[in-house]
């Protein structure tokens, strides 16, 4: 129930909805790395139409910059974006994605974002980490991962 690393992507089938995905994201580099495009962790879902919705937590030199983005199939520029919400780096941040039949509702450190309409059924959970920092960089840790069915 954890992912630690400098780079990678993990996909897992979601099963039936509704469900709640929860985890803790810890950018261990803190303020060590001020490169604004260095450390990112993404938690999201792939959709049956090939699109995806991702919550991105980026370490911008000690500040965690959080956005949620919706992407169409094959596109890397989001067609819908929310945020940012910012947090100091250095501590695990609780993340929750609640998936209903028609919407995804995200919360970061207890702060809810507006619901996002699901244009298609979510099929897989996606976790990814990417650190473009120097070799001495510490990994991003995603832990306490739980997918729970809701009634």
Query: Which whole number is the average pLDDT over 17-44?
Result: 76
pLDDT for position 26: 82
Instruction: Using alpha carbons, list the distances in angstroms from residue 90 to 2, 26, 58, 106, 149.
Output: 18, 7, 12, 21, 31
pLDDT tens-digit profile of 88-130? 777 888 999 999 988 999 999 998 888 998 989 999 999 887 7
Using pLDDT thresholds of 50, 70 and 90, give the confidence band for residue 45.
very high
How many Cβ atoms are within 10 Å of 52's Cβ, its own excluded? Answer: 21
What pTM does this model have? 0.82
Identify the top-confidence range among 22-26, 67-71, 120-124, 132-136. Answer: 120-124
How many Cβ atoms are within 10 Å of 120's Cβ, its own excluded? Answer: 12
């Amino acid at each position: 129930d954890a992912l630690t690393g400098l780079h990678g992507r993990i996909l897992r089938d979601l099963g039936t909805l509704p469900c709640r995905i929860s985890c803790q994201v810890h950018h261990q580099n803190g303020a060590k790395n001020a490169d604004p495009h260095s450390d990112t962790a993404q938690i999201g879902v792939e959709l049956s139409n090939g699109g995806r919705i991702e919550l991105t937590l980026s370490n911008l030199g000690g500040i965690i910059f959080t956005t949620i983005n919706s992407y169409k199939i094959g596109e890397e520029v989001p067609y819908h974006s929310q945020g940012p919400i910012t947090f100091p780096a250095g501590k695990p941040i609780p993340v929750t994605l609640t998936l209903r039949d028609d919407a995804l509702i995200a919360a970061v450190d207890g702060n809810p974002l507006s619901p996002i309409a699901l244009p298609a059924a979510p099929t897989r959970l996606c976790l990814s980490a990417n650190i473009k920092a120097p070799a001495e960089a510490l990994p991003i840790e995603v832990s306490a991962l739980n997918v729970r069915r809701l009634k």
